Amino acid sequence: MAAHRFTRRAFLKTAAAAAGPFVWTPARAQSFTWKRFQGKELFLLLTKHPFIDVLEKHIPEFESLSGMKVKWETLPEIQARQKLTVEMTANSGGIDSFFTSLHVEKKRFWKAGWYHPLNKFLQDAPLTSPDFDWNDFTDGARAGVTQPDGSISAMAAFIDANVLFYRKDLFGPKSLTPPKTLGDLEQLVPKLHAPPATYGIVLRGLKNANATQYPSILFPMGGAYLKDGKAVLDSKEGVAALDLYTRLLRQYAPPGVVNFNWYECSAAFMQGQVAIYMDGVNFASQFEDAAKSKVVGKVGYAMLPSGPGGHVAPIYITGMAVSSQSRSKEAAYLFGQWATSKQNMIRELMAGVGVGRSSTWDSSEVKAKPKMPADWYQAYQASLKIGRQGLPEIVGVTEYRDIIGVAIQKAIEGAPAAQVLAQAQKDFQDLLNRTEN
C-alpha cells in the first residue's frame, strides 16, 4: 500500500511539473518519423463505440506506417472500465493505451495516477508530427482533456454535443421555426402537442441517464453544479431549470417518460411520435436510416435554445490516453496521435461520427460526400464552439448522476423542484466532502 501511495504522489508531482498554460508549437518536420519505434508491440484497451468502429478498420494502416504491431481488446464501456481498474490496481503494465470517457473518468483516473501526462510529448519535436496541430482542437475539446493542474490526460477523439432535433414536416405546415431561446421553446411545444398521434417533446427521464440532458436547460438558464468548489444545485437558476425541464415532460411528453433512457427517447422520435427531441447529436445517424426510422428526411437539426445564462451546449468527450504504467509510453503516444490525426478525423466525420477538430469540418472530402444533412453539420460545428463539459469534473461523477437523477425523476412525477433540489444539494455536498478533499 505504501508503494502505491508513493507512486501516486510521484505521478501527481510529475503532472504538476507539466502544468501551466500549454502552448503548442509545431514540431520540425525533418526530425519526426513514424518509424521511430519500429518492431515494438502495443496493447490497447478499447471501448465499443462508433469512433472505435471506424478506427479499428484502419489500424493495419498504422502498423504499416509505424512498423509496430498492435494488439487490442474492445469491450462494452462498463466492462472496459472494470478491466482497466483491475489491471491498473494490480500495476500490471499490460495496457499501453486506452480509450477513455472523460466525462466519467477524468478526475478519478487522474487522482489515481493512471493517465500519463502528454504535455512534454506534445512539445517533443521528434515525437510529434508537425501536422498534428493541438491548436486545431476546439477550446472545449482541449479543456475537456486538461486537468486542474494543467496536465493533459488524453488526445480528444469523439466529441458529443447536445443539440435539438425537430420534425420539419410538422413545423412547416404551421409556419414554425426552431426555438432560439428557452422562452421560444416553452411557447412552441404546446403548439406541436397533439396526443396520442404526436407529443410535443421528449427528453430523458430515467435517473442517471437524465443527468447528461438536464444541462441542456440548466446551463442556458444560468445554473451550475459548483461554485468555488461548493455545490450550488439549489440556486434560483437551478430551481427554474428543473421546473422547466420536468414541466415540459410532465405536460407534453409520451406516457412513461419518467423511465425513458436515450433508447426510448430515440425510438419514440424515430417512430414519428414526437415533434422535438434534445439529446446527443450523434444519435442522429439512426434518424436518417430507412431501415430503422419513419422520419428519414423529415428531421431538422439546430443548436440548443439560449437562455438568461447565455448560449451553451453540453459536450461529452472521449479520448486516447497513454497508461502511466505502460513500458512503451512514447510509442503509445504515437498511436494516439495517429488515431486523432486530421486524416482519421475526416474518416470519422464522413462516417457520421463527430470530432473536436476545427479543420475537419471544412474538409473537401467531407463536403463532397456528406453522410448527414447539411444542417446536422452546421448545428454540430456551431455547438462545439459553445461547448462546455456537461457533467461536473469530480471523482464521484457517477454518484452525482444518481443524486440529480433521482431529483429529476421525482420532479417529473410532481414533487416541487425546490424541494427535491434541497435534498440533492445536501447529498451532493456530502459527496463532495467525501471524495474531493
- Mean pLDDT, rounded, for 186-206: 97
For the record, the C-alpha cell of 269 comes out as: 422520435
241-290 pLDDT per residue, tens: 999 999 999 999 999 999 999 999 999 999 999 999 999 998 888 899 99
| Residues recorded for the chain | 437
Q: Which residue did the predictor score with more confidence, 326 or 140? A: 326
pLDDT in tens, 211-220: 999 999 999 9
Among 89-93, 106-110, 118-122, 348-352, the range scoring the smallest mean pLDDT is: 348-352
The pLDDT of residue 367 is: 83
Q: Give the residue ranges of DSSP H helices in 136-235.
A: 139-144, 168-171, 182-192, 215-221
Reported as a single tens digit per residue, the pLDDT across 140-184 is 899 999 999 999 999 999 999 999 999 999 999 999 999 999 999
Q: Read out DSSP for 247-265?
A: HHHHHHSPTTGGG--HHHH
b/e 382-418 (16+ beta carbons within 10 angstroms → b): bbbebbbbbbbbbbbbebbbebbbbbbbbbbeeeebe
Domain extents in the chain: 2-159+315-389, 162-314+392-435
Its pTM stands at 0.86
| pLDDT interval class at 437 (50, 70, 90) | confident
Check: CATH 3.40.190.10 for 162-314+392-435?
yes
Per-residue pLDDT band for 50 (boundaries 50, 70, 90) equals confident
Q: Residue 386: which residues within 8 A CB-CB, separation 6 or more?
A: 303, 311, 312, 313
Taking the CA atoms of 107, 108, 109 and 113 in sequence, report the sign of the dihedral they define.
positive
Per-residue cell: 133: 496541430
Identify the band that residue 420 occupies on the pLDDT scale cut at 50, 70 and 90.
very high
Question: Given a cut of 70, is residue 13 above it in pLDDT?
Answer: no
Q: What is the CATH number of domain 2-159+315-389?
A: 3.40.190.10
Pairwise CA distance, residues 208 & 259, whole Å: 11
Residue 9 has pLDDT above 60, yes or no: no
Residue 101 C-alpha cell reads as 470517457
Q: What pLDDT does residue 23 have? A: 64
Query: 199 near 252, Cβ under 8 Å?
Result: yes
Residue 10: is its pLDDT beyond 80? no
* Range list of H helices, 253-328: 262-270, 284-287
Ramachandran bin of 256, using left for φ above 0, alpha for ψ from -120 to 50, beta for the remaining angles: left
Q: How confident is the model at residue 5 (pLDDT cuts 50, 70, 90)?
A: very low
Q: Can you tell me which residue has the cell 431549470? A: 241
- The reply to whether 2-159+315-389 and 162-314+392-435 are identical in fold is yes
Nearest Cα neighbor of 335 from 27, 48, 40 is 40
Rounded average pLDDT over 26-35 = 73
Query: How confident is the prediction for the chain on average, in pLDDT?
Result: 91
Q: Which residues pair with 115 in a beta bridge?
A: 323
What pLDDT is stored for residue 340 in this prediction? 97
Residue 21 confidence (pLDDT) above 80: no
**How far apart (Å, rounded) are the C-alpha atoms in residues 82 and 319?**
18
Nearest alpha carbon to residue 181 among 221, 227, 131, 143 = 221
Task: Report the distance separating Cα 144 and Cα 102, nearest Å.
Answer: 7
**173 close to 180: Cβ distance less than 8 angstroms:** no
pLDDT(315) > 50: yes
